[in-house]
Chain A
Amino acid sequence: MSEQGSNDYSVEVLEAGKQVRLKGILRLMSPAAYKPVFGPIQDQMLTCAGRFTLDIAGLQFMNSSGITALSRLLLVARERNLEVLCLINASTPWQKKTLGSLQHLLPKLTLQTV
């Protein structure tokens, strides 16, 4: 497992790169500012065979710049015809609302409530 982040968030790579866990609070200034967050996640996703799991259940808050950056990650998954499982938290309503909409972008995106 490897981990990176800051005081506000962490990105953990699990299961030999097949799962990434993103936790904390993300309020970065622009979509480009999210490159250090989603860049490594994208790198893992593109080397993963089979289904990739993105665990955001511990992500308490993400602003619209983060939603944009996440959606661009999923567009890359769509280009590569990848399956993505996203773990979300029932107690964090924005996750289901936002990820639910993003399922229209990426039909191979599955949501699982934890």
Chain B
Amino acid sequence: MKNPDDERGETSRDQHTEVVMSEWQHFGDPLPERPADSVISELELRLLPLDMIVQWRRCGIVSDMLAEFFSYNFRNREPARQTLSFAINELLENVVKFPPDKREPVRVHVSDYGDVLRIWTLNRAESRQRVALEHSLLRIVSQDAEQLFLEQIEHGAKQGATTSGLGLITVKKDYQARLAARIRPLEHVEQFEVMAFIELDAEALERE
């Protein structure tokens, strides 16, 4: 299964149009490159957001399945399962809510490297969303998570915000996750590809 990490500056042809993809731009916490042969366990799903939107319970089904699968590698399975389910669920909810075309497949990937688990999702988004995404992530990785959690709640309540904005903040606050995104603009369409990462230390996952 090809890892988008390996794709740099390639020309890619999708089913309907030829689009040129430029190199990935990374922002957020640094994530060291991991050799492909260092992975202990790996699983990737390709989903249609529309399937999840029409039956929202499927988000939970997928998150729980992936969490159950990877928690088997842990001595203290139940805390690991709960944490993984929450983290995966947050990325999954974002990846099905925000793409412009809900029939365009998205990817959800989990790799266990022994000392860390890396979860990533891949989807397309509209160019106009890029600035907000960058700003949001940079805010999360650069500020104190506890303070940001409380600010987000107060601000959201005052504004009557319809979205939570707490998912990634909570993952960072409670599980010391490293968060990152990689963006690759697509030419000839007003869209970009985005990979969203959550990386969790195995030790933090087992902690009660």
> CB within 8 Å of B: which residues of A?
8, 25, 27-32, 61, 63-65, 67-68, 71-72, 75, 91-94, 97-98, 101, 104-105
Contact = CB atoms under 8 A, between A and B. Distances in A.
Nearest to A31: B164
A65 B153 contact: no
Interface residues of B, number: 33
A27 B89 contact: yes
Contacts of B59: 27
Nearest to B52: A29
Contact of A75 (B153, B207, B208): B153
A63 B86 contact: yes
Contact of B153 (A32, A63, A92, A105): A105
A27 B58 CA distance: 10
Interface string B91-122: 00100010000000000000000000000000
Given A68-B156, A98-B174, A104-B150, A31 B89 contact: no
Given A63-B90, A104-B146, 18 more contacts: A27-B89, A30-B162, A31-B163, A32-B162, A61-B82, A63-B86, A64-B93, A65-B93, A68-B153, A75-B154, A75-B157, A92-B82, A93-B207, A98-B170, A101-B146, A101-B149, A104-B150, A105-B153
Given A32-B162, A72-B157, A93-B82, A63 B149 contact: no
Contacts of A8: 57
Contacts of A101: 146, 149-150, 173
Interface string B74-86: 0000110011011
B200 to A, nearest CB: 14
A33 to B, nearest CB: 9
A61 B86 contact: yes
A16 to B, nearest CB: 29
Most chain B CB within a 10 A radius of its CB, from A8, A64, A92, A101: A64
A64 B170 contact: yes
A93 B86 CA distance: 12
A72 to B, nearest CB: 5
Main secondary structure of the interface of B (DSSP, over half): helix
A80 B154 CA distance: 16
B166 interface: yes
Interface in B133-174: 146, 149-150, 153-154, 156-157, 161-167, 170, 173-174
Contact of B167 (A61, A63, A98, A105): A63
Contacts of B146: 101, 104
B72 interface: no
B198 to A, nearest CB: 13
29 contacts: A8-B57, A27-B56, A27-B60, A29-B93, A29-B97, A61-B60, A61-B86, A63-B86, A63-B90, A64-B90, A64-B167, A65-B93, A65-B164, A67-B170, A68-B156, A68-B165, A68-B166, A71-B153, A71-B157, A75-B157, A92-B82, A93-B79, A93-B82, A93-B83, A93-B207, A98-B174, A101-B149, A101-B173, A104-B146
